[in-house]
Structure 1
Amino acid sequence: MSDLSPVITEPLRAVDFFCGAGGMSYGLSQAGIRVLGGIDNSKDCKKTYEANVPGAKYVRRDITRLSAPELGRRLGLKVNDPDLILCGCSPCQFWSKIRTDKTKSLKTAFLLKQFQKFIRYFRPGYVVVENVPGLFRSKDSSILTDFLSFLAGLGYNFRDGVINASHFGVPQNRMRYLLIASRVRTVSPLPADTTRVPLNVGDFIGVSNGFPEIGQGHRDDTDFLHTSAALTEKNVRRISLTPTGGNRFAWAGDPDLQIDAYRDKDHMFRDVYGRMAWDRPAPTITTRFISLSNGRFGHPEENRAISIREGASLQTFPTHYRFHGESINAIARQIGNAVPPALAERIGMHLNSVRNG
């Protein structure tokens, strides 16, 4: 009996909204998905994206001022394309637990609603949303509830929930809300790799992984960007007293090194001024990972915070990935805001399996 099932030869196609440095786009392309373009409003991200995602167009526009028909013309998109994926990984400051200016970040809460207009117009076969877990915890708020109702009303079935990126090839305890939806196939949950031991910091950085020892304040002007932020004399003393995997409690007995804001708050802010451990996953790589005072971002052994390239590596960007920005802080924001390419690749592989039935 002959096999009459159709042979799918054309790859899925994707458009990456709020693409930033291109982590989602790069990962999807590694899974064999053809990335048509990315949309963002950043000049620095444009240079980074175009240097690393060949064949994809970077549309530098404010999404609130970009119409769906215009985007369709620029990227050659078709309406009701069953093989089209729209990815919406919007900036997450509003839902993040990290202290941010909620007034400034309020507009990020409504980017999901802006994303809806493109889904409504194009009606793609697939939709992907990745964000901080706060988006999921805010399910009672109208924004996510309305979005899920909107998808259901267009005939999409979906799976959503909170995942840990450490189960998907990322050496971080990075909790994320993930939604995968389709109107052409039945969606199954993204399968977590829970049988393998999670990847650790020592699997990605360190001398054995091509990262030479450097000091605090080291500047690397090559594309490798093994650049570390300068520390004050007091912070050098603090990190030198902190053991591998340790935190600020290592120098709690020295009144000269204690920090007024954290006095008598032993149950809070345990990670600030901390060191990573070689044999454990990193904490979430945020946009401020080059700062010793903003989390457990100290190198496991060297007396400094991790470098730009080390942070990128822990985000699973390959060492040949080229970042462009006006400052190391600008590049750190690109890296910390990115979807880890390894996670994006796993999402892409799963979409391929869903599509192929």
Structure 2
Amino acid sequence: MENKTNTLKAVDFFCGGGGMSYGMLEAGINVLAGIDNEENCRRTYDANIGENKFINADVFNLKEDELEAKLNLNKNDDDLILIGCSPCQFWSIINTNRNKSTKSANLLIEFARFVKYFNPGYVVVENVPGVLRKKNESGLEDFIIWLEKNNYVVHFEVHNVSDYGVPQSRKRFTLIANRVTTEKINPIKKEGKKVTVRDVIGESNGFAKINDGHKDNTEFIHTVPTVSKLNKRRLEKIKKDGGDRLGFANDPELQLPCFIGKDHWFKDTFGRLWWDKPSPTITTKFFSISNGRFAHPEENRALSLREGATLQSFPKNYKFHGSSTAAIARLIGNAVPPKYAKCIGESITKNHLNGKI
């Protein structure tokens, strides 16, 4: 096996800021291109994955032969991996406005069009668990049926990325299809204890104590929005290391009217992270204490941009570019955690090197 060369190459559809692509690179896979319809992903993708690898295209309008010519792809290529981590708002349980995300409901079907055209050696799909719960509506069931009829061995399951070296509890549907060998490919889990918040952030990990409103103009972006005076008073009442909004529930000046008599509703709102657990799911709103358990374990502020990225398992030198805090947080929260992507890539690489003669 040591004499075999990893000849795998990947095209990353719906690439965003490059979390999946970076993990694939870390697994030794050549990333040919990332495709996304949001041009504002380009600078981040180019800075970390490689210049001129970003293709700004709407998958609904992109034609198979256009992509074939642009990237010099071959059909029936055993070394090719097609990856589809489509935006998942429509199938997410936390979505609040499905009308805005209706178009995303059909992205898997559009991705399948390219898989059927190219018939690659490997296919990867990563999405919210809802795509499996609604497998008829999402197009997943028909896609799996097609894959199996066309000699792919298909693994699909909901995994928690905390089992794969990511310091975050985040459940994701993952499909890995393989027609190169007869093996069913599972992402390779990490042995030992789970990585926790304490393992990756805090002063001992290079994160200086900061106040809310701190702006970091370096590429480290240890930046955090300002907290209102009222919310700061609320945070001061929430106990360190995993406390929640019950800390101020009995204070009539601080209690939120929507939670009066509803102490057990949405308890994560205004909650602090625990030091010795993986973080909760890092969403696109992780910089706001009112949008989940996103308050720092000790400091009276939300998570900084770099802390959120680190909990998503991005390396500290990963460069993010965006027009605002919210724009960068969106790139981070929507990303596939790179360490999870690396585990997927390593499992495919192991299968490929073992299976090829």
| Counterpart for residue 58 of structure 2 | 62
| Counterpart for residue 38 of structure 2 | 42
Q: In the alignment, which of 110, 115, 134 is matched to residue 111 of structure 2?
A: 115
Q: How does 1:1-357 map to 2 (within 5 A)?
A: 8-54=4-50, 57-141=53-137, 143-190=139-186, 193=189, 195-243=191-239, 244-357=241-354
Distance in 2 (alpha carbons) for counterparts of 1:355 and 1:179: 17
Would the aligned equivalents of 1:217 and 1:229 in 2 still touch at CA under 8 Å?
Answer: yes
Would the aligned equivalents of 1:201 and 1:282 in 2 still touch at CA under 8 Å?
Answer: yes
CA 1:6–1:319 in 2, change beyond 3 Å: closer, same or farther?
Answer: closer
The one-letter amino acid paired with 2:40 is D
- The ranges of structure 1 where at least 4 consecutive aligned residues each deviate by more than 6 angstroms after the TM superposition are none
Distance in 1 (alpha carbons) for counterparts of 2:64 and 2:225: 42
Distance in 2 (alpha carbons) for counterparts of 1:118 and 1:301: 48
Would the aligned equivalents of 1:36 and 1:55 in 2 still touch at CA under 8 Å?
Answer: no
Range 18-27 or range 136-145, more displaced? 136-145
- Residue identity (%): 52
Distance in 2 (alpha carbons) for counterparts of 1:220 and 1:6: 45
Deviation at 1:255, TM superposition (A): 1.2
Range 148-157 or range 336-345, more displaced? 148-157
Would the aligned equivalents of 2:33 and 2:54 in 1 still touch at CA under 8 Å?
Answer: yes
Deviation at 1:190, TM superposition (A): 2.0
Distance in 1 (alpha carbons) for counterparts of 2:211 and 2:112: 47
- Normalised to the residue count of structure 2, the TM-score between the two structures is 0.95
Would the aligned equivalents of 2:19 and 2:314 in 1 still touch at CA under 8 Å?
Answer: yes
Range 153-162 or range 279-288, more displaced? 153-162
The one-letter amino acid paired with 1:95 is W
Would the aligned equivalents of 1:246 and 1:275 in 2 still touch at CA under 8 Å?
Answer: yes
Distance in 2 (alpha carbons) for counterparts of 1:298 and 1:105: 28
Deviation at 1:265, TM superposition (A): 2.1
Would the aligned equivalents of 1:186 and 1:354 in 2 still touch at CA under 8 Å?
Answer: no
CA 1:304–1:47 in 2, change beyond 3 Å: closer, same or farther?
Answer: same
Deviation at 1:189, TM superposition (A): 4.4
- 2:221 partner SS: coil
**Deviations along 1:101-133, whole A, 9 cap, x unmatched?**
101111111000000111111110000001111
The one-letter amino acid paired with 2:347 is H
CA 1:182–1:56 in 2, change beyond 3 Å: closer, same or farther?
Answer: farther
Distance in 2 (alpha carbons) for counterparts of 1:43 and 1:102: 23
RMSD: 1.6
- Normalised to the residue count of structure 1, the TM-score between the two structures is 0.95
The one-letter amino acid paired with 1:284 is T
Would the aligned equivalents of 1:159 and 1:187 in 2 still touch at CA under 8 Å?
Answer: no
**Deviations along 1:258-305, whole A, 9 cap, x unmatched?**
112222222320101000011111000001000100000000111000
Range 253-262 or range 45-54, more displaced? 253-262
The one-letter amino acid paired with 1:13 is K
Aligned positions, number: 353
Would the aligned equivalents of 1:40 and 1:59 in 2 still touch at CA under 8 Å?
Answer: yes
Distance in 1 (alpha carbons) for counterparts of 2:315 and 2:186: 23
- 1:37 partner SS: strand
Gaps of 5+ in 1: none
Gaps of 5+ in 2: none
Distance in 1 (alpha carbons) for counterparts of 2:300 and 2:61: 46
CA 1:194–1:352 in 2, change beyond 3 Å: closer, same or farther?
Answer: closer
Distance in 1 (alpha carbons) for counterparts of 2:263 and 2:216: 37
